Amino acid sequence: MSSDIGLIGLGTMGSALALNIAEKGFGIAVYNRTAEVTRDFHSEAGELASRVTPTETLEDFVAALAKPRAIILMVPAGEIVDAQIAALRPLLGPDDLIIDAGNANFHDTNRRMREATGPFLGIGVSGGEEGARHGPSIMGGGDRAHWDRVAHILEAISAKYEGTPCATWMGEEGAGHFVKAVHNGIEYADMQMIAEVYGVLRDGMGYDAPAVGTVFDRWNDGALKSYLIEISGMVAGTTDPATGGPLLDVIVDAAGQKGTGRWTVIEAQHLAAPVPAIEAAVVARNLSSRRETRAQGEAVFGAAPTPMPPGTLDEDTLEQALICGKILCYAQGFTMIAAASEAFGWALPLPEIARVWREGCIIRSEMLNDMADALTDDPARNLMFAPYFADHLKAGHTALRQVVAQAALHGIAAPALASGLAYFDAMRTARGTANMIQGQRDYFGLHGFARLDDDSTDQHGPWAD
Ligand SMILES: NC(=O)C1=CN([C@@H]2O[C@H](COP(=O)(O)OP(=O)(O)OC[C@H]3O[C@@H](n4cnc5c(N)ncnc54)[C@H](OP(=O)(O)O)[C@@H]3O)[C@@H](O)[C@H]2O)C=CC1
Ligand SMILES: O=C(CO)[C@H](O)[C@H](O)COP(=O)(O)O
């Protein structure tokens, strides 16, 4: 019998997604560049193997699919996707649908849609291996009619929040991959802020890794309840089988990255959308990889972190600071999505985006449900101004200020928290300091400025004479 859907790329995500699809009752044909991987996958599929059709040539793969065909690509982003599409298209009929489910740059997805000689969707899938296997969050983009053809499968395999599928069509073109990139940008900032608080606990307050784990575990019962806090607690609490000490203490402090955070920041700059916490997180990852330079710096200037006198900060202050930092980074991410929606004419559904992020994805958290409510009330309002989050910020910004100030005083780098605080302060300063910049620009370049008493932009200072 022909399979309902096909999947190419049985790596970490593809194999988990294929099993998820089979488990939900769909027949799936699979193909992988390395045939041995396909054979192993099928032989290890257990009772799901009967719904999986393993194939070893693209021709057999295509022939195994019910028409019109739907094929998921789960291969590394970039040229590999283009090559896979080029190999596949000549074997397909005009109505056959290709779905790129990897972390593509949305500009590539836009281009692929323009160039496509048949139906094409770009969907963002989040949740890592576990999410792919048991329910990811799915952000779709492309022609709505193409999404509707496979929505029943994607909704069935997606995570559910109180029964509601976390799978939604976000808009035309590369809208799904754009939303996934911003998701990852927020993920970077959220992770960075947690790492910075870990730094304060470790270097400022002298906590060992298991004690840090206990703090995160406790916070996971409160407003910070989230997958990232949960796994941070588990990571901090894990013992290294080789040394018997904390595993965290032997992990190299250089963060990897595959590019989605960087794409978010580059796009934010194009859109002139302020996302300083995400930018700080990407910069921190770049800087973390320069281990030799940091070691040289420590040799020249002495080690930066110095312990804080007892009582300088407490766990509750850190928790409040992290709550505020998190709100501010999500506020930035959502305002960037709103800016893109307008710039690209996409009508991105902001409340729906918060809803599909409530379960399945890496940034899933309790707070996203409140964000969905706030964005439903007013999608155009910056989240930090929504009463629920404004109350959190009013109650907690002093704590954020204390943490950032004490971190700075004790040489502990906390760039994402600091940039979150600067964003908060800038966003509540009605009379800022850009009047000086406008004066400077006019002085050296006659660029003109608006006056408070006359808003035409072609005013000049007396230096113009
Ligand atoms: N890992 C994660 O947590 C997440 C990953 N993603 C995205 O999903 C996609 C897949 O990631 P992941 O599963 O982690 O990657 P893996 O490295 O685990 O798997 C890559 C897959 O692509 C195949 N492949 C690699 N190169 C080629 C090629 N040149 N031609 C054909 N097939 C090739 C591999 O086949 P072979 O066995 O022959 O090497 C393998 O099946 C990426 O875009 C990634 O960014 C999205 C969300 C989460
Ligand atoms: O998309 C993901 C999670 O949502 C992937 O795990 C991605 O690889 C994470 O990004 P990076 O590797 O740059 O940390």
59 and 150 inside one domain:
yes
In this structure, are residues 132 and 361 in contact, taking their beta carbons and an 8 Å threshold? no
Which residues define the annotated binding site?
A: 9-14, 32-34, 75-77, 103, 126-128, 183-184, 188, 258, 285, 441, 447
160 and 199 inside one domain:
no
419 and 449 inside one domain:
no
Q: Residue 465: its pLDDT value, please? A: 79
- Residue 146 backbone dihedrals phi, psi, to 5 degrees: -70, -40
Strand partners, 142: 121
Q: Is the CB of 128 under 6 A from ligand 1?
A: yes
Interface pTM, i.e. ipTM: 0.98
Q: Residue 457: its pLDDT value, please? A: 77
Amino acid at 175: A
Asked if 187 is an active-site residue, the reply is yes
From the CA of 361, give the closest atom in ligand 2: 4
165 and 275 inside one domain:
no
- The active-site residue out of 47, 130, 172, 180 is 180
120 and 254 inside one domain:
no
Q: Is the CB of 103 under 6 A from ligand 2?
A: yes
70 and 136 inside one domain:
yes
Q: Residue 288: its pLDDT value, please? A: 98
Closest by CA position to 167, among listed 121, 135, 122: 135
- Residue 140 backbone dihedrals phi, psi, to 5 degrees: -95, 150
284 and 236 inside one domain:
yes
Alpha-carbon distance of 269 to 400, in angstroms, equals: 26
- The active-site residue out of 187, 279, 319, 352 is 187
Is 0.90 topped by the overall pTM? yes
From the CA of 258, give the closest atom in ligand 2: 13
217 and 157 inside one domain:
no
- Residue 314 backbone dihedrals phi, psi, to 5 degrees: -130, 170
Q: Show pLDDT as tens, one digit a residue, over the chain (465 residues).
A: 899 999 999 999 999 999 999 999 999 999 999 999 999 999 999 999 999 999 999 999 999 999 999 999 999 999 999 999 999 999 999 999 999 999 999 999 999 999 999 999 999 999 999 999 999 999 999 999 999 999 999 999 999 999 999 999 999 999 999 999 999 999 999 999 999 999 999 999 999 999 999 999 999 999 999 999 999 999 999 999 999 999 999 999 999 999 999 999 999 999 999 999 999 999 999 999 999 999 999 999 998 899 999 999 999 999 999 999 999 999 999 999 999 999 999 999 999 999 999 999 999 999 999 999 999 999 999 999 999 999 999 999 999 999 999 999 999 999 999 999 999 999 999 999 999 999 999 999 999 999 999 878 799 999 987
In the block, tokens 């990571």 appear at: 235
Q: Is the CB of 187 under 6 A from ligand 2?
A: yes
Protein residue closest via CA to atom 9 of ligand 1:
102
> Which ranges of 302-410 would DSSP assign to H, the alpha helix?
315-344, 350-356, 366-377, 387-409
Please enumerate in sequence order all residues whose Cβ is within 8 A of that of 274, keeping only pairs 6 or more positions apart, or say none: 268, 332, 335, 423
Q: Residue 246: its pLDDT value, please? A: 98
In this structure, are residues 135 and 20 in contact, taking their beta carbons and an 8 Å threshold? yes
62 and 154 inside one domain:
yes
In the block, tokens 């160039």 appear at: 115
Kind plus residue range of the DSSP H or E element containing 98: strand 97-100
Q: Which two tokens stand for residue 369?
A: 């449900």
The number of domains in the chain is 3
Say whether the peptide bond before residue 68 is cis (omega within 30 degrees of 0): yes
Q: Residue 455: its pLDDT value, please? A: 79
395 and 345 inside one domain:
yes
Which residues define the annotated binding site for NADP(+)?
A: 9-14, 32-34, 75-77, 103
Protein residue closest via CA to atom 43 of ligand 1:
102
Protein residue closest via CA to atom 32 of ligand 1:
33
Length of the chain: 465
In this structure, the number of other CB atoms found within 10 A of the CB of residue 211 comes to: 15
* DSSP state letter for 363: T
Asked if 24 is an active-site residue, the reply is no
Amino acid at 124: G
Best probe residue, ligand 2, of 184, 278, 283 (max atoms within 8 Å of C-beta): 184
Closest by CA position to 244, among listed 209, 218, 219: 209
The CA 340 to ligand 1 mean position distance, Å, reads 28
The CATH number assigned to the domain holding 210 equals 1.10.1040.10
Strand partners, 458: none
| Domain stop point among 154, 173, 192 | 173
Q: Is the CB of 126 under 6 A from ligand 2?
A: yes
Q: Is the CB of 12 under 6 A from ligand 1?
A: yes
Amino acid at 96: D
The CATH number assigned to the domain holding 61 equals 3.40.50.720
37 and 167 inside one domain:
yes
State the residue range of the domain holding 453. 434-464
413 and 444 inside one domain:
no
| Domain stop point among 118, 149, 173 | 173
- Residue 142 backbone dihedrals phi, psi, to 5 degrees: 130, -160
The CA 80 to ligand 1 mean position distance, Å, reads 10
| Domain stop point among 141, 173, 205 | 173
